[in-house]
Chains A and B, each alone.
Chain A
Amino acid sequence: MAEAIAFYVLAACILGFAVLVVTAKNPVHSVVFLVLDFLCVAALYVTLGAEFVAAIQVLVYAGGIVVLYLFVVMLVNVKRPPEAFRAGGRHAMLGLALAGAVLVEAAAIAVWSRLSPAAPASAAQSLPVSGNTEQVGWLLYTSYLVPFEVASMLLLVAMVGAIVLARKES
Chain B
Amino acid sequence: MITPTHYLLLSMALFTIGLAGVMTRRNIIIVFMSIELMLNAVNINLVAYSAQVQNLVGQVFAIFVIAVAAAEAAVGLGILLAFYRNKETVNIDEINLMKW
Are A and B part of the same complex? yes
Q: Tell me whether B75 and A161 are in contact (CB under 8 A).
A: yes
> In the complex, A147→B64 CA distance in Å?
8
Q: Tell me whether B17 and A61 are in contact (CB under 8 A).
A: no
Q: Tell me whether A68 and B73 are in contact (CB under 8 A).
A: yes
Q: Tell me whether A99 and B19 are in contact (CB under 8 A).
A: yes
Q: Tell me whether B59 and A136 are in contact (CB under 8 A).
A: yes
Q: Tell me whether B47 and A95 are in contact (CB under 8 A).
A: no
Q: Tell me whether B3 and A18 are in contact (CB under 8 A).
A: no
Known contacts A53-B59, A110-B12, A144-B60; A21/B23 CB under 8 A: no
Known contacts A69-B73, A165-B75; A110/B4 CB under 8 A: no
Q: Tell me whether A88 and B93 are in contact (CB under 8 A).
A: yes
Majority SS at the chain A contact face: helix
For residue A3, which residues in chain B have a CB less than 8 angstroms away from its CB?
A: 2
For residue A121, which residues in chain B have a CB less than 8 angstroms away from its CB?
A: 53-54
Q: Tell me whether A22 and B53 are in contact (CB under 8 A).
A: no
For residue A100, which residues in chain B have a CB less than 8 angstroms away from its CB?
A: 16, 20
For residue A98, which residues in chain B have a CB less than 8 angstroms away from its CB?
A: 19, 23
Q: Tell me whether B18 and A69 are in contact (CB under 8 A).
A: no
For residue A73, which residues in chain B have a CB less than 8 angstroms away from its CB?
A: 29
Q: Tell me whether A34 and B33 are in contact (CB under 8 A).
A: yes
Known contacts A73-B29, A107-B12; A159/B74 CB under 8 A: yes
User: Which residues of B line the A interface, CB within 8 A?
Assistant: 1-6, 8-10, 12-27, 29-30, 32-34, 36-37, 40, 43-44, 47-57, 59-60, 62-64, 66-75, 77-82, 84-85, 88-91, 93
| Further 20 A-B residue pairs, CB within 8 A, beyond A22-B24, A86-B26 | A15-B10, A31-B33, A45-B47, A61-B36, A69-B33, A69-B73, A92-B23, A96-B20, A98-B23, A99-B16, A106-B12, A118-B4, A118-B52, A121-B53, A135-B56, A136-B56, A139-B56, A140-B63, A157-B71, A168-B85
- A-B CB contact pairs (8 Å), 5 listed: A21-B33, A48-B48, A127-B56, A147-B64, A166-B77
